[in-house]
Structure 1
Amino acid sequence: MTDQTEALQERIAHLERMVEDLSDVVARQAGDLERLTRQVAMLMQREATREADAGGGAYFADERPPHY
């Protein structure tokens, strides 16, 4: 083999490794995204239930609490 062929094979091997590594990263991030999406949905449902149970009263940061 020529030096050029060996250099190309070496570059291809490095690129294949990089593609495999990136594929692993993307797969892990997809799992993380699915998990976080489920958690956000659960938290939104929990907050909606809490707001419904509270009677829908709105709290504004610039209002004084009723005990003042």
Structure 2
Amino acid sequence: MDDDTERRLTDLEIKASYAEDLIDHLNAALVRQQQLIDGLLREVGHLRQQLPTDSAGTVRSLRDELPPHY
């Protein structure tokens, strides 16, 4: 191989290694975000279980309960 072809091949290998590293970082970020989403969904589920319901079984809306100063 001539020098130009060797240089181009080396440049492509470098670019491929940077791309692979970037993909690994993005994958790790995606995993962390999914774990956070899963945790938040569990927390919302727990909060929904704690909500008081009226006698009809429907969930009360806080917008319907105005504070005393209104």
State the TM bucket, normalised to the shorter chain.
0.7 to 0.9
Partners of 1:65 and 1:52 in 2: how far apart?
A: 23
User: How many pairs are equivalent?
Assistant: 64
1:1-68 equivalence runs, <5 A: 5-55=2-52, 57-59=59-61, 63=64, 65=66, 67=68, 68=70
Give the TM-score normalised by the residue count of structure 1.
0.77
Give the TM-score normalised by the residue count of structure 2.
0.75
Q: Give, in angstroms, the shift of residue 52 of structure 1.
A: 1.1
**Aligned-pair RMSD on alpha carbons?**
2.1
Higher-RCO chain (CA-CA 8 Å, sequence separation at least 6): 2
Q: Give, in angstroms, the shift of residue 51 of structure 1.
A: 1.1
Query: Identical aligned pairs, as a percentage?
Result: 16
Unaligned runs of 5+ in 1: none
* SS of 2:66 mapped into structure 1: coil
